[in-house]
Amino acid sequence: MTDSNRPVQHAPSCDDDYQPDTLSVDAAWDRILQDITPVRGVERLPTRAALGRILAEDIHSTVNVPNSDNSAMDGYALRSGDLPTEGDTRLRVVGTVLAGHPYDQPLLPGECLRIMTGAPMPAGADTVIPQEKVERQDDLIRIDSAHRAGQDVRAAGEDLAIGDRVLAAGSRVGVAELGMLGSLGLVEVSCRRRIRVAYFSTGDELRSAGSALRPGDVYDSNRYTLHAVLTELGVEATDMGVVPDEPAAMEQAFADAAGFADAILTSGGVSVGEADFVKDIMRRLGEVGFWKIAMRPGRPLAFGKIGRARFFGMPGNPVSVVATWCQFVKPALRHLMGQTIRRPLSFRVRAAHDLRKRRGRTEFQRGILERSADGELLVRTTGGQGSGILSSVSLANCFIVLPHDADSAAAGEFVEVQPFHGVMG
């Protein structure tokens, strides 16, 4: 209950106007990353099990890749001294070289070998002529002067040389990186341990899937969103369910989560009336770094520490959860995992229509990036941009980023976009 003689203090919501005590997006980004130290634990893993993990050590090559000169094409291996400078010449085919089967005789002048892609170059040969550029009759081939010495040969160590740094500590092992590790013949690699993340939603109106809805209730979508992004990130995630809007219940949930987690994510409970008791709980259990950012959607993002766990109090509106995840929480967790991080990829394209925006906050409007009939990239919004319209994320393939000090953008003006690929998962 609110004392009728006490003025009601309004706390921020996702759609509020700018207030001067909020942090800019850049300042919040810097503060979060400065406050987070990567986990120290390291595990030795079989190479295949390292997919999605963060390397804890630099990887240097102990072999040349490829380990010998080899053919880049199916064709004929020959000595460059036998290439004609004009007209054509004929060479005698003396054998065939297959991948994995070296030819054990040196190649003599006037000779050539049928060779397959990846097969090691025989001694004396330094050039490959693709089979489609050769005329063959019985054991003789005819080649013309339109070729150069050394063509279509992959040199030993061309991809990686012994001692080269292949991957740096802090790199995430994706598909290409796992292939690189395999090309070195590595059986095991050292990786940072997985971080542990606890998450829950707050709100008396929230119901889990399968429950009946009463008047005023809604199904909790935010835990599904967080389950998806945390699974893709590769952390050890614990869903702690829905916590009622009661200080005692929330304080117990925070204390339980802080007992095992490296990071705690919540949705809801950090705007309007709930903000005060959340901040009070955090002050008792840990510390509050900040709780307001000059952005839309996602303005009431709380950041702090409870015990050793970093805390991210995300707004309750579903779109705000997505926006704050992409812009702050995901990079922060990647940093906590030990990954070398960068700001999300962005580039400029023309707006397909007018975009409305208020100066004094960064806006992340949901957009559809597409090509016009003449091939130019354009971006348009998905329509309604309210922070509760989750379909605006499902329909979109990018954020339209309208910067802090900018006003509305007119159709045809260049605006910044962040494609969802690379920021969502």
Mean pLDDT along residues 251-259: 94
From 311, 337, 363, the end of a domain falls on 337
Question: Which tokens belong to 63?
Answer: 């072999």
DSSP 221-241: -HHHHHHHHHHHHT-EEEEEE
Q: Is position 411 within any domain? A: yes
Residue 271's pLDDT band, with cuts at 50, 70 and 90, is: low
Q: Give the span between the Cα atoms of 240 and 5, in whole angstroms.
A: 38
How many structural domains comprise the chain?
4
Place of tokens 């796992």: 178
Which of 55, 39, 41, 52 lies closest to 332 in space, CA to CA? 39
Residue 112 sits in which domain range? Answer: 70-154
Residue 150's pLDDT band, with cuts at 50, 70 and 90, is: very high
CATH code of residue 104? 2.170.190.11
Mean pLDDT along residues 347-368: 94
Q: Give the span between the Cα atoms of 422 and 229, in whole angstroms.
A: 12
Strands (E), 222-325: 236-243, 263-267, 286-290, 295-296, 302-306, 309-314
Mean pLDDT along residues 136-143: 96
| Mean pLDDT for all residues in the chain | 89
Instruction: Specify whether 199 is located in the same domain as 262.
Output: yes
CATH code of residue 353? 2.40.340.10
Instruction: Specify whether 408 is located in the same domain as 283.
Output: no
Instruction: Specify whether 78 is located in the same domain as 48.
Output: no
Q: Out of 299-303, 349-353, 363-367, which region has the weakest mean confidence (pLDDT)?
A: 299-303
- Helix, strand or coil, per DSSP, at residue 131: helix
pLDDT of residue 139: 95
pLDDT of residue 7: 34
How many Cα atoms are found within 13 Å in the side-chain-facing hemisphere of 232?
13
pLDDT of residue 13: 44
Instruction: Specify whether 187 is located in the same domain as 47.
Output: yes
Cα Rg of the chain, angstroms: 30
From 288, 319, 337, the end of a domain falls on 337
Which of 400, 402, 406 lies closest to 383 in space, CA to CA? 400
Instruction: Specify whether 86 is located in the same domain as 117.
Output: yes
Instruction: Specify whether 321 is located in the same domain as 245.
Output: yes
The amino acid present at 380, given as its one-letter code, is R
Q: Is position 123 within any domain? A: yes
Q: Does residue 44 surpass a pLDDT of 90? A: yes
Q: Does residue 105 surpass a pLDDT of 60? A: yes
* Number of residues that this document lists for the chain: 425
Residue 1's pLDDT band, with cuts at 50, 70 and 90, is: very low
Residue 391's pLDDT band, with cuts at 50, 70 and 90, is: confident
**pLDDT, tens digit, for every residue of 281-326?**
887 888 888 888 999 998 888 899 999 999 999 988 899 999 999 9
Instruction: Specify whether 256 is located in the same domain as 127.
Output: no
**pLDDT, tens digit, for every residue of 397-422?**
999 999 999 889 999 999 999 999 75
Instruction: Specify whether 114 is located in the same domain as 239.
Output: no
pLDDT of residue 424: 57
Q: Does residue 19 surpass a pLDDT of 90? A: no
Place of tokens 């919040």: 28
Which of 375, 278, 276, 313 lies closest to 28 in space, CA to CA? 313
Mean pLDDT along residues 338-346: 87
Contact 369, 420 (CB under 8 A): no
Q: Does residue 3 surpass a pLDDT of 50? A: no
Instruction: Specify whether 203 is located in the same domain as 179.
Output: no
